Amino acid sequence: MTSLHLTFQTKDGQSSFSNVCLRSTDGCTLHPLAYALEDDEPVLSAQFLLRYPLLIIGELVVDNALVFGGVTVDESKKDRNGNAPIEMAKAIRIFYLLESSFEAERWIDVFLEHMDNYRSNSSRLFWTSSKSLASEMERNSTLLIPFMPWTAMVLLVFCMAACSSRDVVRSQPWIGFFAMLNASMSTVAAMALLLYLRYPFLPLVFIMPFLVVSIGTDNMFLMLKSWRLAQEPDMELR
């Protein structure tokens, strides 16, 4: 599993991890533990690197606190810097750094596609990448589209009900309706204008309509609350 990333490559075979990794003078930039786990005898190679919270090799200092989680150490073998051998770790996080290029983006797409179908009986595997959040937002936007009309209807009914009261004079359900209409129309107009001008934006912007509608609705409730708290003038008796 530790060398799984080496098996991923694009369909044309031109992009593999060794081609898109962030390179230094000695090759790909990886955590020393990642190199050790790729060895033919990973147990022997990794045991010298299992120190917590810091691994000090000569002048090289590696922060293992970012790599290991749920750590149990041998307190009796602490060195003068407070670092001790790791007896057990419930989680290991390994970073793989890539260069900023189009080929690296293609490789990430292949990585995410394969990891969705990967299963392991010996461990639980979690992964993320620079494109994970954007991909998740795109997927959620596609899945939520069928529920949008019902969600808008429920929100509209709630706003109108919240603006109603038993006092017929002070009950203003239409304020809730037009507040929702105003926020929705302004959001649609702004998004349509940006799309018409072909303005580039990230997939994360897909959540903007929900934020604008929620802020507009919140302002409507603040206005209604201020109006209801206003002092009622005495009625002139005639």
List pLDDT tens digits, range 26-36.
778 887 888 77
- Please report, as a single letter, which amino acid is at residue 55: L
* Same domain membership, residue 107 and residue 55: yes
* Same domain membership, residue 128 and residue 167: no
DSSP element (H, E) containing 23: strand 23-24
In a domain, 145, yes or no: yes
* Same domain membership, residue 191 and residue 79: no
- Pick the last residue of a domain from 132, 152, 171: 132
* Same domain membership, residue 222 and residue 112: no
* Same domain membership, residue 128 and residue 12: yes
Q: Give the model's pLDDT for residue 24.
A: 79
CA 222/CA 227 separation, integer angstroms: 9
- On whether the pTM is more than 0.75, the answer is no
* Same domain membership, residue 144 and residue 105: no
* Same domain membership, residue 220 and residue 202: yes
DSSP assignment string, 51-110: EESEEEETTEEEEGGGTEEEEEE-GGG--TTS-EEEEEEEEE---B-B-SSHHHHHHHHH
* Cβ(171)–Cβ(150) below 8 Å: no
Angle at 142 between CA 217 and CA 129, to 5 degrees: 100
Q: Give the model's pLDDT for residue 179.
A: 78
In a domain, 70, yes or no: yes
Specify the number of domains making up the chain. Answer: 2
- Pick the last residue of a domain from 132, 166, 183: 132
- Residues in the chain predicted with pLDDT less than 50, given as ranges, are 238
- Pick the last residue of a domain from 99, 115, 132: 132
CA 105/CA 130 separation, integer angstroms: 9
* Same domain membership, residue 145 and residue 126: no
* Cβ(10)–Cβ(107) below 8 Å: yes
Four-point Cα dihedral 195, 199, 200, 202, nearest 10: -60
Which residue segment(s) compose the domain that 15 sits in? 4-132
